[in-house]
């Protein structure tokens, strides 16, 4: 969108509904206003919106200021956002500024309901569910199990813990909406390899949801399965802060090795989850020089 400034082509008015980062929206909207009205400036915007600071918008765009409910209203007024746009913008601000995962999820779900058009709502909801429901990625692996296509009832029976046939039906539709599976000419489910694109703010939220879900599944597996069906091991160790990047690199190498060595064979007969967690148990001391 910003490249149009270089080519001389007029910019289109940014749609708030395509943004998942409110600061990026403000930056893009300011560039649009500047392109369509040469006299437009940060000082000019502050006057229109009712801010005493002439560079308030710049401070927000640069991440030096957060927004409050009052300043959200002023910015919406300054950019002449319509009611649906204001509602989305306000919710987006609250989601971006939320520090608690539960709170972020609350506002993200609200964002989905405010999306337009309707098909965008369906896609966003399917994307959210994929990372929030443990069985969606598992079902994607199961659709071609033992070299054959399983029915929803058979898929439900395969899962552990078991889910309902209705949940399987809904999940398959969501996987299809995301382009993760498709039906071939014989009506059989096949996997496809699309890229699930989303903004960094939402991507971070969805990945956190996925890890929360799978870590809960790992905890439940201690009582759900006998020891010969699972592997739950841990080690507590003292290390140097400078060695953390190397530890993380070796963990990444281990994951890649597992995939290369054991995944990708024809007609697999089981789906497993391998979690690897590494986290600090003590506060990180600041070793900088003191005066």
Residue 280 lies in a domain: no
Residues 161 and 81 in one domain: no
Pair of tokens at residue 20: 């998942």
Asked if the structure places residue 104 within a domain, the reply is no
Provide the domain count of the chain: 2
Length of the chain: 291
Structure tokens that stand for 148 in this block: 């054959």
Q: Is residue 159 part of a domain?
A: yes
Q: Note down the domain range covering 134.
A: 128-259
Judgement on whether residues 79 and 140 belong to the same structural domain of the protein: no
Q: What per-residue confidence (pLDDT) applies to 86?
A: 95
| Angle formed at CA 282 by CA 278 and CA 286, multiple of 5 degrees | 110
Main-chain dihedrals φ then ψ at residue 187, nearest 5 degrees: 80, 10
Of the residues 98, 120, 150, the one at which a domain ends = 98
- Can you give the CATH number for the domain in which 50 is found? 1.10.260
- Residues 64, 154 within the same domain: no
Both 45 and 90 in a single domain? yes
First-to-last C-alpha distance (Å) of the chain: 48
Asked if residue 112 belongs to a domain, the reply is no
**Are residues 81 and 132 part of one domain?**
no
Q: What is the 3-state secondary structure (H, E, C) of 65-132?
A: CCCCHHHHHHHHHHCCCCHHHHHHHHHHHHHHHCCCHHHHHHHHHHHHHHCCCHHHHHHHHHHHHHHH
What per-residue confidence (pLDDT) applies to 23?
95
Report if residue 278 sits inside a domain.
Answer: no
> pLDDT tens digits, the chain, 291 residues: what are they?
334 444 445 668 888 988 889 999 999 999 999 888 888 999 999 998 999 999 999 999 999 999 999 999 999 999 999 999 999 999 999 999 999 989 998 998 888 888 765 545 555 777 778 888 899 988 988 887 766 778 899 999 989 899 999 999 999 988 888 888 888 777 778 887 655 555 666 778 888 888 888 999 999 999 999 999 999 999 999 999 999 999 999 999 998 888 888 887 777 788 899 999 999 999 877 655 443
282 belongs to a structural domain = no
What is the rounded CA–CA span in Å between residue 161 and residue 135? Answer: 9
β-pairing, 144-145 vs 148-149, is: antiparallel
Regarding beta strands 144-145 and 181-183, do their DSSP bridges make them parallel or antiparallel, or are they unpaired? unpaired
My answer on whether 93 and 162 are in the same domain is: no
User: In 10 A of CB 251, how many CB atoms?
Assistant: 13
- Report how far residue 142's alpha carbon sits from residue 158's, in angstroms, rounded to the nearest whole number: 9
44 domain residue, yes or no? yes
Same domain, residue pair 153 and 255 = yes
CB 30 within 8 A of CB 45: yes
80 falls within a domain: yes
Instruction: Based on the fold, state whether residues 13 and 60 are members of the same structural domain.
Output: yes
Which 8-state DSSP code applies to residue 150?
Answer: P
Judge if pTM exceeds 0.85.
Answer: no
Q: In the prediction, which pLDDT does 224 show?
A: 93
Report the candidate in 4, 63, 24, 13 with the shortest Cα–Cα distance to residue 200. Answer: 24
243 and 186 housed in the same domain: yes
- Same domain for 55 and 142? no
Check residue 63 and report its DSSP letter.
T
pLDDT at 122: 59
| Shared-domain flag, residues 58 and 132 | no
């Amino acid at each position: 969108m910003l490249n149009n400034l270089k080519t001389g082509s007029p910019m289109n008015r940014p749609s708030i509904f395509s943004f998942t980062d409110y600061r990026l929206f403000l930056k893009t909207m300011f560039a649009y206003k500047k392109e369509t009205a040469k006299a437009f400036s940060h000082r000019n915007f502050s006057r229109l919106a009712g801010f005493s600071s002439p560079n308030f918008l710049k401070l927000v765009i640069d991440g030096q200021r957060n927004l409050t409910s009052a300043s959200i209203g002023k910015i919406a007024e300054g950019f002449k956002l319509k009611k649906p746009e204001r509602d989305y913008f306000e919710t987006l601000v609250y989601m971006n500024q939320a520090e608690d995962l539960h709170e972020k999820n609350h506002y993200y779900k609200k964002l989905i309901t405010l999306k337009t058009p309707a098909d965008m709502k369906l896609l966003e909801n399917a994307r959210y569910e994929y990372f929030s429901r443990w069985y969606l990625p598992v079902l994607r692996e199961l659709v071609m199990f033992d070299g054959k296509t399983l029915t929803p009832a058979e898929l439900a029976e395969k899962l552990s813990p078991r889910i309902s046939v209705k949940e399987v039906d809904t999940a398959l539709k969501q996987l299809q909406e995301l382009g993760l599976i498709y039906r071939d000419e014989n009506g059989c489910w096949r996997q496809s390899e699309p890229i699930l694109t989303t903004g960094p703010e939402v991507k971070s939220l969805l990945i956190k949801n996925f890890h929360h879900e799978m870590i809960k599944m790992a905890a439940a597996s201690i009582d759900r399965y006998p020891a010969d069906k699972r592997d739950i091991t841990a080690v507590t160790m003292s290390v140097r802060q400078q060695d953390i990047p190397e530890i993380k690199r070796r963990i990444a190498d281990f994951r890649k090795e597992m995939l290369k060595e054991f995944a990708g064979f024809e007609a697999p007969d089981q789906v497993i989850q391998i979690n690897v967690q590494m986290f600090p148990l003590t506060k990180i001391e600041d070793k900088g020089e003191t005066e």
